Amino acid sequence: MSMDSPVSNLDPIKERKDVPLQDRWDVESLYATWEDWEKDFVLKVRPSQKPHWPELLHYKMKLSDEKLLKEFLDLYFLTDRQITKLYTFSHLKNDEDVAEEYARQANARMLASIYEYREELSWFEPELLSLTQDQIDYLLQSEVLKGYKNFLEKIIRFKPHTLSEEMESLMALSGRAMETPGKAFSIFNNADMKFPPVKDSLGNQHELTHGKYQLFMKSSDRELRKSAFCAMHNSYLQFENTLCELLQGQVQRHVFEKKVRGFASCLDAALFPHQIDEKVYTSLIAAATKNLPSLHKYFALRKRLLGYQDLHLYDMSVPLAPEAKISLDYPTAESLVIDSVKPLGLEYQEILRKGLTIERWVDRYENARKRSGAYSSGCYDSRPFILMNFNGTINDLFTLTHEAGHSMHSYFSHKQQPYPYASYSIFLAEVASTFHEELLFRYMFDRAQTKQERAFLVNQKIDDIRSTFFRQTMFAEFELKIHEFVEKDIPLTPALLKSEYRNLNLKYFGPEVEIDEDIDIEWSRIPHFYYNFYVYQYATGLSASYALAKNLFTEGESARKKYLDFISSGCSQYPLDTLCEAGIDMRGTGPIDALVKRFDELVSELENNLS
């Protein structure tokens, strides 16, 4: 780690072909070449014939026989596994450069194949649910089907919302068209969107990209922060009508599916598959609202410590202990992440070390037209892969460990669970990632050498909780509002969206912060609004992960074992039950209250260190 200038990486963005091999993920461990992928695509998808998977149709009208149902399910999951492997390669290659034609076409073909697979299998669930209750009970008690019992129970739970075979076929057929708003936003955001250069306080110009925007927001140069903030949001403002219609199209999709399947609301439809009560969502918003005075207290402290008369939204990420500003290169970030997970045991640490330093799990740096942001992806037959846009900031360090948490969750679930139960619920997805962040914070704080460095890290942790708990809950509240508007036949317009989004910013940021007009359009650049009620899980996940980490450091080995069992459980149980097994009850507000209490304590500690 070193002290560095506020903006540490202003090199021109490279073309993909110029990125060194060691900085790229090893996606070729899945398929060495596109030619190998094409051969497997032809073999497994059989694009020239219809139906593509006649061997599955062979079992139609035969599901009441336990042995034939077992044969069908074995073949069903084998086919799904093969398709998922093909898709994983195509989508990862596409994200390396979203405008590269071959990868884009291959990924489009793969997505089309997935929809055709769903269409050809649309008869399965209606036929299973058409069986008599006695037949269903017999199948659930069958020793032959023991390995599929949980899977079958989840399907049967859907009986009130499952349509006829003809209607399910139509729903599967419509799926590809329904993806258009999200796909159009993604290509617009990652390939077509261009930003003007921005100026710092000395008049120097800097290239603005998605990756560099986050870097600029942490700069001590206030003029650069303001310039980047205005340029970013004004760029989206030029397309407010188009972006409004894309978002409206996505919400209309959710409303359509909710109506067709007979759910009470879009929220109900999104939560039902994972057996999450709507109260978990609404209670989160209520708890965040109740605790907004704690957030507003922090903003008052930030305003005072920065010495500003007016605190603006572009002042939210600049460190309050700038003389301790931490910058680091990528290998150092890797080492810190690996060292920080030692409390989970040497085996866990060695798996992560090998993945990051030898097996090339990570695509490290931004390149031209590379997908923005960060994620962890992969499949049952691949390594976990991490997309990053690393710029050397402390935020990038925590992003790396966040995504590594996802990857280790996938690694252990894939290792310990059979394919049908290897993919964990999205409700659990943000637990392991934020758990990793907590381990890294504690590791770095314990080794901080100066009071200023400790203050810097506390400030970082405060802002992590602010952005992951409070900010994501604000997003969740906005997402709920826009769905309720469309459910009531109130059309979404740019004016309505900007007004509602502004009101939420006024509510969450409080009286100490100037709510710049530029922020009104921010809703238009948030990709998670196309994910169908995903963002609330960042807040619930952070609450659960803090409770798990607290248990780890107070209970030791028993808590470590529970955590490893948790990340090895896949979807073998419903998510709330899985967390209960790990010792965390998310049906109540206890974990949320504990997290807010921690937030208050950190704010007080920051004030004591810097006042």
Which residues are annotated as catalytic? 403
Provide the sign of the torsion angle of the four alpha carbons 471, 474, 476, 479, taken in this order.
negative
Q: 596 Cβ partners below 8 Å, 6+ apart?
A: 287, 291, 294, 469
Looking at residue 367, what DSSP letter applies?
B
**Residue 514: in which H helix or E strand, if any?**
strand 513-514
- Answer whether 116's CB lies under 8 Å from 56's CB: no
How many Cα atoms sit within 13 Å of 591 on the Cβ side? 27
- Answer whether 493's CB lies under 8 Å from 366's CB: no
Residue with tokens 């870097």: 215
Q: How far is C-alpha 294 from the geometric centre of its chain's CA atoms?
A: 26
**Residue 11 vs residues 206, 209, 280, 443: alpha-carbon distances, Å:** 10, 12, 45, 31
How many Cα atoms sit within 13 Å of 169 on the Cβ side? 6
Q: 528 Cβ partners below 8 Å, 6+ apart?
A: 475, 534, 535
2 - beta bridge partners? 327
Collapsing DSSP states into helix, strand and coil, what is residue 14?
A: strand
- Integer Cα distance of 35 and 234 in angstroms: 43
**Residue 312: in which H helix or E strand, if any?**
strand 311-312
How many of the other CB atoms lie within 10 Å of CB of 523?
25
How many of the other CB atoms lie within 10 Å of CB of 310?
9
| b/e burial code for range 88-110 (CB count within 10 A of at least 16 → b) | bbbbbbbbbbbebeebbebbebb
Report DSSP letters for 34-67, one per residue. HHHHHHHHHHHH-TTSSSS-HHHHTTTT-TTSHH
206 - beta bridge partners? 198
- Integer Cα distance of 407 and 404 in angstroms: 5
- Integer Cα distance of 456 and 312 in angstroms: 20
Pair of tokens at residue 1: 């780690």
- Answer whether 295's CB lies under 8 Å from 510's CB: yes
Q: Can the peptide bond before residue 51 be classed as cis, meaning omega within 30 degrees of 0?
A: yes
Provide the sign of the torsion angle of the four alpha carbons 136, 141, 142, 148, taken in this order.
positive
Looking at residue 370, what DSSP letter applies?
P
Report DSSP letters for 391-432, one per residue. -SBHHHHHHHHHHHHHHHHHHHHHHHS-GGG-SPPHHHHHHH
